[in-house]
Structure 1
Amino acid sequence: PRVPAGKYLTLEQLRDLVRPSPATLVTVLKWLRSHGVEDCRSVATLDFLECGMAASTAERLLPGAEFHRYVKGQRSVVRSPQPYSVPEELAEHVDFGIGGLHRFPAERSAVSRAWAKEGMESRGQRAAFHLGVMPSVIRKRYNMTKGDIGLLPNNSQACAQFLEQYFHQADLAVFMKLFGSSFAHRTEVDRVVGHQGQGRAGLEASLDVEYIMSTGANISTWVFSNAGRHESQEPFLAWLLLLSNMSALPWVHSVSYGDDEDSLSQVYLQRVNVEFMKAAARGLTVLFASGDDGAGCEEGGRGGNHGPFRSGRAYPDLAALSDNYWVVTNRLPLPWVSGTSASTPVVAGMLALINDRRLQLGQPPLGFLNPAL
């Protein structure tokens, strides 16, 4: 059913909308327990189950599967080259199927979407007149005044991090000391959800946090840190399921990462799409960096992103400054950082600021943005 504009669902209401039938729950749990599988976790909406078991148990659970360990260099994965089946009585109750059995990780190495220029030679004479993008430049470009800061304690914004990218609170403090003198701001992330690794800070993580807190100034900020990987890429499903388990969440989420659709299975893509719909029903605004190659139509449009060009839909939905940013990472100011992963947290912070004003007026947050655009 369509949710009226601005009438968002609580997590409990969403659960009532998407939860499996009692018959489905009984059938699936009976099947698992008959094979001794007890180590299972469900999300709050009850429509996704994650279970741990030995490979030998999985082979009995999934007739036809035959697991082997495959090693390449320092990496190893457990996969079944043979197709599996599930009992016929389960067919109508299983939507997503069983993930991670057949497909091997993509050959490409996963990298963050931000990048720093090696030198200024390619910029020619232009470099002498361009000191780089910093919060004051962005706030001036987009007509943001000293009054354009968050005021409400119950408003918040978030960045999602993947691929072992971590930020340091100390970097944020240095960044705001250097670049935050013209506007009221916060110098700490209020909450980290997930594993925050030690060691060196990542350029992407530093960029995201510092700039969402520059446009979304003085707004409480969270970081969702997702340490694992899916098929050597970003575990978007794991992150979305994390959101499915939390009743109180930031209204705006900035994601400067992306996957090649043709390197993932269709069932995985569809399940991720369902989780995005669930997030939209709850009133969340989720922004993704489009990538520096736009819709990614290399090699004759081999991926599923060719769709926007067929339909005539504009891509991306929004654009903002993305070149030659200053970022503080590992306590050092680093110039000339570029990428759509720079513009994404900038726009996200602006939307969180709009939400702040809407909430002050008793209006709902923006939520799923595309209809408004």
Structure 2
Amino acid sequence: MRLHYSLTLLASAVLLWTGTSASPTPGHHVVHEKRSSPPPAWTKQERADGNMRLPLRIGLKQRNLHHADEFLDSVSNPKSSKYASYWTAEDVADMFAPSDESISSVKLWLLESGIPASRVSVSPSKSWISVVNATVSEAEALLQTEYYTYEHYFGKKHIACESYSIPGHLSAGEHIDLIMPTLHFDAKVVPGRDDLSKRDAQTVQAGAAKNVGKNSGFLPKQGAHLNPQSIISQLEHCDTQIVPNCLRALYTFPPGFTAHPGNSYGIVEYTPQAYVPADLDMFFANFSKKQVGQRPILASIDGGIVQQEAQSFGYNGESDLDIEYAMSLIYPQTVTLYQVGDEVEGASFNNFLDALDASYCAYEGGDDPSQDAAYPDPLPGGYKGAEDCGKFKATNVISTSYGYNEADLTPAYEVRQCHEYMKLGLQGVTVLYSSGDNGVAGNGDQCIGSDGNYNNGTSGRFNPSFPGGCPYVTSVGATQVPTGTNIVLSLATGTQPEVACETVIYSGGGFSNVFEVPSYQAAAVSHYLTTYPPPYTAAQYNNSGKARAFPDVSANGANYVVAIDGGFSLVYGTSASSPTFGSVVTLINEARLNIGKKPVGFLNPALYAHPWVMNDVTQGTNPGCGTPGFNATAGWDPVTGLGTPNYLKMLGLFLALP
């Protein structure tokens, strides 16, 4: 399942990336990257001044990435003799660090191009090479390109090119990944900002915060407000309200009763999203009385704070939901809250990953300022501390309920980040991401038009999510208990009480336009496409049969009872599904640790090899883009994945593994 960028699959995206088949002979330049047009909202202006200075950086390719799947499979495939023999962070860094040959080859190219050695520097991680005080004229000659000034409609100006070339032996010889600044538009665009207390919560909910991407995140949807006296107390009513005991009954897991010191569960939130302490106590008073007064362990990343200045569903709904359910479901174990980014700048998934892995901060040229926050924050009121690189330890399970559209980002950006999830898997970390809340459509119900731009979602190409489409994460879709279903009777008679979620939200699912189908999933995807062929063409989705498909699993995502801003509300979304599934995995880790075994790590190979440990969901669809979407079927499907967790069966499987 080696990661790649597919030109055919990306033809409808805004950015078109190409390589070349030219002979990789030394000195012969070939096109390394190019784009067909600037990103939306940018307009090409005049040629850049040749004397202008550029912060020219050359990102080096890491070694041994072609063995990444083999390495990860060896520690996560239940048939492997090395199952759960996880690597250390040092092992990972050493294995994938760029080679000395890459460094020397690139330095020689620069020297032969007239760049003196005194102006060339190599980063401590050996991940990138910088040319000090490079001018536009030097960069144009070096890369055989032309730089222009581009202007954003907010007024921000940026220097970029439309394509660039490098010697063929460097491009094809696994030495250079990307060069910046070139066509990546690594420009920070910041419109005018109001004080936090004056911000419109709906703006946050629509995705203006950097952490959820350019269009929208998987922020949950709010339903009816509840009178506390109307909250259910009997499992027979889980069709109208979901409370912790409903989830325990659905997925056959008991309340926690031990707290192994080596067990840990992390929930990731992005400022200004924040939980309200009083909401936690209100929830615990109703569903977990021993936890009143308890709080998650705060891991503040890049100035992340649990802000209390602005309170509304848009600010507190996600965090309250995630933390209330995660804490109550795994008690007496604790939850670590990774609170990422300051109030002004926010943060991205890469900022979070930087905090876990110091080498990632600089890997392949470092973060992209057009998507990732830069710290110290230069904006007024921003966090002035240094960027957190490798400061925090990864928990055994990490759940994130946010996401981008895959088409929001460049393939290079996504592949770089996806490799980091692979590295976490090598270290025994389970990484869960919500699959999305709009069926086959993207955030905000947007689909991809024939011109490559987003439309209103009534038609067009399906819009898969990221990181849910990364083959090194476990993507979690959503189910629901249909109205009128008594789960007690269903469970007693062996009847599946859940279907794909079709209330308020639809389970995100589909096929990636960037990543290949991983080996662990290939048979399941082939069976679905052959046995239940979708009635769509390549104009609507990647029907090649060779694409990574998602979600992998699912959990309930409808009618959650959540305490928010002093009252109870019903909440919907895969934002609920991911932390619930993560809680089940954490309880399984607890049992393994208690008998001297290691956490389960990357789940997918074991689950696809043993689908019988999941509750198969065979009804429902995930509509979008003017279509019914895909169908839930017997076996894996791109609506609910392999199904929902069956704790007892999963526990039996994982306790039997080394």
Give TM class, smaller chain. Answer: 0.7 to 0.9
Q: How does 1:73-222 map to 2 (within 5 A)?
A: 73=154, 76=156, 78=158, 80-84=160-164, 91=171, 92-98=174-180, 101-103=183-185, 109-117=215-223, 132-146=241-255, 148-162=256-270, 164-181=272-289, 187-194=294-301, 195-197=303-305, 198=307, 199-200=309-310, 201-222=315-336
Match of 1:360, as an amino acid? N
Take 2:150 and 2:322, find their aligned partners in 1: how far apart are those partners? 37
8 Å Cα contact 1:134/1:325 also seen in 2: yes
Q: Please identify the structure whose Cα radius of gyration is greater.
A: 2
Q: TM-score, normalised by structure 2?
A: 0.46
Q: Quickly say closer, same or farther: Cα 1:49–1:170, change in 2 above 3 A.
A: farther
1:345 paired with 2:579, answer yes
Q: How many Å apart are 1:258 and its aligned residue? A: 1.7
Higher relative contact order (CA 8 A, sep 6+): 1
Q: TM-score, normalised by structure 1?
A: 0.77
Q: What stretches of structure 2 of length at least 5 have no aligned partner?
A: 1-69, 75-81, 190-206, 208-212, 227-236, 359-389, 448-459, 470-509, 518-523, 529-548, 608-658
Q: How many Å apart are 1:93 and its aligned residue? A: 2.7
Secondary structure at the counterpart of residue 363 of structure 1? coil
8 Å Cα contact 1:207/1:342 also seen in 2: yes
Match of 2:250, as an amino acid? R
8 Å Cα contact 1:256/1:344 also seen in 2: yes
Q: Quickly say closer, same or farther: Cα 1:10–1:57, change in 2 above 3 A.
A: same
Q: What residue in structure 1 maps to residue 397 of structure 2? A: 252
Q: What residue in structure 1 maps to residue 151 of structure 2? A: 70
8 Å Cα contact 1:320/1:343 also seen in 2: yes
Q: What stretches of structure 1 of length at least 5 have no aligned partner?
A: 121-128
Secondary structure at the counterpart of residue 137 of structure 1? helix
Q: Quickly say closer, same or farther: Cα 1:23–1:322, change in 2 above 3 A.
A: same
8 Å Cα contact 1:35/1:61 also seen in 2: no
Paired residues in the alignment total 353
2:589 to 355, 365, 371: 355
Take 2:180 and 2:293, find their aligned partners in 1: how far apart are those partners? 43
Q: What residue in structure 2 maps to residue 237 of structure 1? A: 350
Q: How many Å apart are 1:108 and its aligned residue? A: 5.7
Q: How many Å apart are 1:21 and its aligned residue? A: 1.9
Secondary structure at the counterpart of residue 306 of structure 1? strand
Match of 1:72, as an amino acid? Y
Take 2:463 and 2:591, find their aligned partners in 1: how far apart are those partners? 43
8 Å Cα contact 1:185/1:217 also seen in 2: no
Q: What residue in structure 2 maps to residue 273 of structure 1? A: 418
Q: How many Å apart are 1:293 and its aligned residue? A: 3.2
Match of 2:151, as an amino acid? Y
Q: Quickly say closer, same or farther: Cα 1:268–1:62, change in 2 above 3 A.
A: farther
- Report the structure, 1 or 2, having the larger strand content: 2
Secondary structure at the counterpart of residue 266 of structure 2? strand
Take 1:342 and 1:225, find their aligned partners in 2: how far apart are those partners? 18
- Report the structure, 1 or 2, having the larger helix content: 1
Root-mean-square deviation (CA, aligned residues, Å) is: 4.1
Q: Quickly say closer, same or farther: Cα 1:258–1:354, change in 2 above 3 A.
A: same
8 Å Cα contact 1:161/1:205 also seen in 2: yes
